[in-house]
Amino acid sequence: MTRRFLTLTALLALVAFAASAKPNFSGDWKLNVGKSDFGPAPAPDKSTRKIEHNDPSIKWTQVQSGAQGETKSEISYTTDGKETINKSPRGDSKGSAKWEGDTLIIDSKRELQLQGQAIEITQHEVWTLSADGKTLTVNNKLGTPQGDFELKSVFEKQ
């Protein structure tokens, strides 16, 4: 009886741990343009992310190329909801990341100068990892003075 109780207790603890484990986004990722949806924005020719995720720290380097040339961004957050400032070629952004179940939510905003006027861009990113860990999907809702639109970026692990 005691042995059966200990086995059941250990099994329940293992199931609880597995259910609470968060995905790890670490790896080299390549954008699958065909599976992605850029809405009204032009699709990049290529985009890669090198992600280092050691919760609560998540950092990535993104290299993207398209009609306007190549850009490289280095982004970092902590998944505990603390505000972070990231510098990028498109301007500095303030934001925070937090877990909602096994989904990572990143909210950020940046101010840009456009024809001498300051405009604010907001982003709401929802990161999900496929069950096999080979596909990262980033759903992104952008808020701009011209209106809101949504993008979907699908990355495949290399």
* Nearest alpha carbon to residue 12 among 4, 23, 22: 4
- What are 148's strand-pairing partners? 143
What is the amino acid identity at position 16? A
In a domain, 4, yes or no: no
Indicate the pTM of the whole model: 0.84
pLDDT digits (tens, 9 = 90+) for 32-44: 999 999 998 899 9
Q: Which domain holds residue 65?
A: 24-157
pLDDT digits (tens, 9 = 90+) for 101-113: 999 999 999 988 7
Q: Is the pLDDT of residue 96 over 70?
A: yes
Joined together, the tokens standing for residue 48 give 């890669």
DSSP 66-133: ETTEEEEEEEEEETBS--EEE--TT--EEEEEEEETTEEEEEEEEEEEETTEEEEEEEEEEEEE-TTS
In a domain, 87, yes or no: yes
CATH classification at residue 105:
2.40.128.20
Structural domain total, the chain: 1
Joined together, the tokens standing for residue 153 give 């970026």
